Structure 1
Amino acid sequence: MNFIELAKERYSLRYFDVKKVEQEKLDLILQAGQLSPTAVNYQPQRILIIESDEALAKLKDCTVFHFNAPIALLVCANKDEAWKRSYDGKIHTDIDASIVATHMMLQATELGLGTTWVGHFDPIAVRNAFNIPSNIEPVCILPLGYPSKDAKVHPNHTKRKDISQTVLYNHF
């Protein structure tokens, strides 16, 4: 499958099967994250794998958007290791973690798995539930697993603005 086909195939999965994700597939997804570009290649990403019943129960207390996936990846970044832009002090934790998450989402799709990006979570509850140090910024949660038999693409998924509305040349 070429990249554009892969990008078109990926959608936000909200109905997961109970089948566990094989370790070999999880390893490939994590490798895709490891190979992701980050600012100055500082690699500040930290991925917390949430897979035990106890950990998944804790996650449910932090967000309503867990979709009962058999595993979730909490994508974070270390503020002390992320690149800081000298002009305005912007720390690139959110950007680096987002690039890593996107690579992992696309790898999951290629492997026949589904994900959805969850940004709607209580960061304080997540930090407390998983003992996340203050220098680690939780950026997103990726519920991960096989699509259930009831899974379907949301009708809005294929709606895209015309490229002329989102791409400009040389000025706004």
Structure 2
Amino acid sequence: MNFEELMDKRYSVRKFSDKPIEQEKLDKVLEAAMKAPTAKNQQPEKIYVLKSQETLDKVDALTPVRYGANTVLVFTYDENEDWKNPDEEDIHSGVEDASIAATYAMFEAVEQGLATCWCNRFPYTQLHDSLGIPSNEKIVLIMPIGYAPEGTEPSPRHFASKDVSEMIRYM
């Protein structure tokens, strides 16, 4: 599958089967995330793999966006490790670095026959505290990952797009 086919095949899945992910496939997804570029290659991103019922219950207590997946990836970045822009205070690379890693993971998941959903609808501080994530790490997103049930289709929103003139500016 080439990259364009991969992009076309990927969509957000909001219902997962109970089939567990094979460790080899999960390892490939995590390896892909680790290959993602980061500012100055400082690699501040961290990935928490939630698989135990106890941690999944903690997610469910705070948000409906696990969608039944038996594995959830939590992408964070370490504020002490991300690149800081010397030209402007408060500009740093953590969110971007973790987002690129998540994107690599998302595309590798498709390559492995898995489905994902990039989720930001959760109380960040409460999830952070509930999972016991160190205070120097900031959550960027959670990503349910697993197998989509047979017959799952992209939502109609998946195909909606603004006109190119609204998104691209030449200067």
TM-score interval, smaller chain? over 0.9
TM-score scaled by length of structure 1: 0.95
Specify the SS of the correspondent of 1:27. helix
Q: Partner of 1:94 in structure 2?
A: 95
Mean CA deviation greater in 147-156 or 1-10: 147-156
Q: Whole-Å Cα distance in 2 between the matches of residues 163 and 7 of structure 1?
A: 18
1:131 aligns with 2:132: yes
Q: Matched residue pairs, number?
A: 170
Q: What's the offset of the Cα at 1:110?
A: 1.1
Contact 1:76 1:138 in 2 (8 A): yes
Q: Whole-Å Cα distance in 2 between the matches of residues 16 and 60 of structure 1?
A: 14
Over the matched positions of the two proteins, sequence identity in percent amounts to 38
Q: What's the offset of the Cα at 1:164?
A: 3.1
Specify the SS of the correspondent of 1:105. helix
| RMSD (CA atoms) | 1.1
Q: Whole-Å Cα distance in 1 between the matches of residues 71 and 62 of structure 2?
A: 15
Amino acid at match of 1:125: Q
1:34 aligns with 2:34: yes
Once the two structures are superposed, residues 44-93 of structure 1 have per-residue CA deviations (whole angstroms, 9 ceiling, x without a partner) of 01000000111110111221211010100000000100001112221211
Q: Partner of 1:12 in structure 2?
A: 12
Q: Whole-Å Cα distance in 1 between the matches of residues 4 and 161 of structure 2?
A: 14
Once the two structures are superposed, residues 75-128 of structure 1 have per-residue CA deviations (whole angstroms, 9 ceiling, x without a partner) of 000010000111222121111111110110000011110000111111121111
Amino acid at match of 1:57: D
Specify the SS of the correspondent of 1:140. strand
Mean CA deviation greater in 48-57 or 89-98: 89-98
Q: Partner of 1:140 in structure 2?
A: 141
Contact 1:46 1:76 in 2 (8 A): yes
Please list, as runs of the form range in 1=range in 2, the aligned pairs for 1:1-172 lying within 5 A after superposition.
1-89=1-89, 90-149=91-150, 151-170=152-171
Mean CA deviation greater in 119-128 or 75-84: 119-128
Specify the SS of the correspondent of 1:61. helix
Structure 2 residue ranges without an equivalent (≥5): none
Contact 1:11 1:157 in 2 (8 A): yes
Specify the SS of the correspondent of 2:104. helix
Amino acid at match of 2:25: K
Mean CA deviation greater in 83-92 or 8-17: 83-92
Mean CA deviation greater in 18-27 or 80-89: 80-89
Amino acid at match of 1:63: T
Structure 1 residue ranges without an equivalent (≥5): none
Q: What's the offset of the Cα at 1:148?
A: 1.0
Mean CA deviation greater in 137-146 or 149-158: 149-158
Amino acid at match of 1:27: D
Q: Whole-Å Cα distance in 2 between the matches of residues 9 and 142 of structure 1?
A: 17
Moved >2 Å (runs of 4+)? 161-165
Amino acid at match of 2:64: V
Once the two structures are superposed, residues 135-154 of structure 1 have per-residue CA deviations (whole angstroms, 9 ceiling, x without a partner) of 10111000000001252210
